[in-house]
């Protein structure tokens, strides 16, 4: 098949469609229960607010919308995860068109991401990291359009998607800081004017309800984040060991990705010019956020959890292809395609194997059966629907999700009474 523009577009959309279908069906068919983070978001979604004890609200809004449409259909939430994966893929494919004259390079910029397990093996669990990916990608796209075209509309969308990124996960701040550094440089060098400041209008308008919620709830999400990193308990060695561990894990994650690059290039030789505006942009959105994370670990001595880096590598494919584009040997595409197909097939099979053979996972929990048992007990005593569940996000969250009445999750309690005088069940004790 000739690699013309139309055929390359077709190949790309076949890829993203296949990716969406495979990674929706495999977990839906092999898991007995939704993963922890998804159930947790659904539990919060039964009692919507502008923030929750661990995270800002965007992931919760997303799952609750799907619940109102599909109810307790597990496949819908696996589908949601994959939508959050393929949207960035589509964005990157379109974004790359501004960087490469050869459309093959645009396709490679996306396909090469299959070498990073953040974009396949871990994606079935919808969580804040997965939720963040489309907003991370769209923020970068409209930043680039704002920088190159400087239209009010581009800066508006940039501000809007930046806000939605923050509402997905606070870790978005590292991309935000990288962008700030880059924009300050552009303004200082007079390559853009102050029109970009207009992006702050939609940014703060969208963020305002959450900021109010934060102040009213003693900044609980920030406290949780610091606790997760181990903040406050560091020794001198932590400032050395944690950054080294972080770097080691990132290198390990990138090995298949680097292998795929190696298969494309004739020799490792490149010429980097910091006068290249496109290269500077790619370095700003790819390297600076990673450097800032590493710097945080060094200065604060905190752990950086591997999964937190999920969105950070989205544009690594564009950066790698751009740097090595003069060295890419298109005659080696068959070798690349072979490795890509192996990874593309191996990943879902590996996931299915682990899902079926390992029986001590959260996804093996019999949440639906437990909910049916609770419903039977309740029906023997009461003629009303279950309106509230109490317990941790996992046990009670599963009940909130699986029970037809969709009871509101209200956290952990030892005992309680609902307003009509009926004693509620302390479900946290039923483990």
Q: Summarize pLDDT for 159-186 with one digit per residue, the tens.
A: 999 999 999 999 999 999 999 999 999 9
**44: closest CA among 424, 414, 411?**
411
Same domain, 270 and 401: no
Task: Looking at the structure, tell me whether residues 121 and 201 fall in a common domain.
Answer: yes
Structure tokens at 160: 């809007």
Distance CA 308, CA 250 (A): 11
Q: If pLDDT is split at 50, 70 and 90, which confidence band does 427 have? A: very low
> What does the pLDDT average to over 268-285?
87
Cβ proximity of 65 and 112 under 8 Å: no
Does residue 227 surpass a pLDDT of 90? no
Residue 77: band (very low, low, confident or very high) from pLDDT cuts 50, 70, 90: very high
Whether residues 222 and 370 share a domain: the answer is: no
Element holding 409 (H helix, E strand): strand 408-409
pLDDT at 230: 62
Contacts of 335 (CB under 8 A, 6+ apart): 263
Measured between alpha carbons, how far is 279 from 271 in angstroms, rounded to an integer? 11
Are residues 351 and 383 located together in one domain of the fold? no
Among candidate residues 315, 336, 357, the one where a domain is terminated:
357
In this structure, what are the phi and psi dihedrals at residue 411, rounded to the nearest 5 degrees? 85, -175
Look at residue 235 in the predicted model and tell me its pLDDT: 84
Same domain assignment for residues 375 and 333: no
Considering the domain architecture, whether residues 377 and 330 belong to the same structural domain is answered as no
Residue after which a domain boundary falls, among 303, 333, 357: 357
**Which residues fall within 8 angstroms of residue 220, CB to CB, at 6 or more apart?**
51, 53, 214
For the residues 69-84, what does the mean pLDDT come to? Answer: 98
Same domain, 397 and 299: no
Strand partners, 388: 408
pLDDT at 345 over 50: yes
Q: In percent, how much of the chain has pLDDT > 70?
A: 94
3-class state of residue 271 by DSSP: coil
Q: Are residues 232 and 375 both part of a single domain?
A: no
Task: Note whether 73 and 181 are same-domain residues.
Answer: yes
Bridge-partner residues for 417, per DSSP? Answer: 423
* Mean pLDDT score, 141-166: 97
- Cβ 153 vs Cβ 198: under 8 Å: no
In the predicted structure, residue 421 carries a pLDDT above the cut 70: no
* 423 in the same domain as 328: no
Confidence of residue 272 (pLDDT cuts 50, 70, 90): confident
Q: Which residues contact 36 (CB under 8 A, 6 or more apart)?
A: 125, 362, 394
The domain in which residue 411 lies consists of 366-429
| Same domain as 288, residue 374 | no
Q: Would the pLDDT of 121 be above 70?
A: yes
**Helix 5-30 and helix 103-111, axial crossing angle in degrees, nearest 10:** 10
Residues in the chain: 431
Report d(CA 138, CA 119) in Å as an integer: 17
Phi, then psi, of 409 in degrees rounded to 5: -80, 130
How many structural domains comprise the chain? 2
Alpha-helical regions (H) of 58-199 = 58-70, 74-96, 103-111, 128-149, 152-168, 173-188
Whether 184 and 69 share a structural domain: yes
Cα dihedral: 245, 247, 251, 254 (round 10): 110
Last residue of a domain, which of 316, 338, 357? Answer: 357
Q: Tell me the chain's radius of gyration from C-alpha atoms.
A: 23
């Amino acid at each position: 098949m000739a690699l013309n523009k139309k055929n390359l577009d077709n190949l790309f959309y076949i890829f993203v469609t296949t990716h969406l279908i495979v990674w929706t069906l495999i977990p839906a068919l092999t898991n007995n229960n939704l993963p922890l983070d998804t159930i947790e978001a659904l539990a919060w979604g039964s009692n919507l607010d502008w923030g929750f004890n661990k995270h800002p609200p965007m992931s919760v809004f997303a799952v609750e919308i799907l619940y109102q449409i599909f109810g307790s259909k597990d496949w819908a939430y696996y589908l949601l995860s994959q939508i959050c994966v393929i949207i960035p893929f589509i964005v990157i494919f379109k974004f790359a068109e501004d960087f490469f004259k050869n459309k093959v390079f645009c396709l490679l910029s996306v396909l090469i991401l299959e070498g990073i397990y953040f974009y396949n093996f871990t994606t079935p669990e919808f969580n804040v990291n997965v939720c963040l990916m489309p907003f991370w990608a769209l923020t970068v796209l409209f930043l680039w359009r704002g920088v190159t075209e400087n239209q009010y509309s581009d800066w508006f969308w940039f501000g809007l998607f930046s806000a939605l990124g923050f509402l997905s996960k606070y870790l978005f701040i590292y991309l935000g800081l990288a962008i700030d550094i880059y924009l300050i440089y552009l303004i200082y060098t007079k390559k853009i004017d102050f029109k970009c400041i207009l992006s702050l209008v939609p940014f703060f308008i969208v963020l305002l309800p959450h900021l109010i919620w934060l102040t009213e709830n003693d900044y609980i999400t920030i406290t949780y984040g610091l606790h997760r990193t181990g903040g406050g308990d560091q020794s001198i060695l932590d400032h050395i060991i944690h950054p080294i561990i972080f770097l080691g894990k990132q290198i390990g994650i990138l090995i298949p990705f680097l292998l795929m690059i190696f298969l494309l290039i004739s020799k490792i030789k490149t010429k980097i010019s910091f006068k290249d505006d496109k290269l500077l942009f790619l370095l700003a959105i790819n390297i600076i956020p990673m450097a800032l994370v590493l710097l945080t670990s060094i200065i604060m001595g905190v752990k950086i959890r591997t999964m937190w880096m999920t969105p950070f590598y989205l544009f690594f494919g564009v950066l790698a292809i751009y740097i090595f584009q003069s060295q890419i040997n298109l005659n080696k595409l068959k070798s690349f395609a072979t490795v890509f197909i192996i990874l593309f097939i191996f990943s879902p099979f590996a996931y299915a194997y682990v899902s079926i053979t390992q029986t001590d996972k959260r996804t093996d929990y019999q949440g639906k059966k437990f909910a049916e048992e609770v419903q039977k007990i309740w029906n023997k005593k009461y003629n009303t629907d279950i309106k509230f569940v109490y317990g941790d996000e996992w046990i009670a969250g599963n009940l909130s999700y699986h029970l037809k009445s969709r009871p509101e999750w209200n956290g952990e309690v030892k005992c309680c009474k609902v307003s009509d005088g009926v004693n509620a069940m302390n479900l946290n004790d039923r483990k």
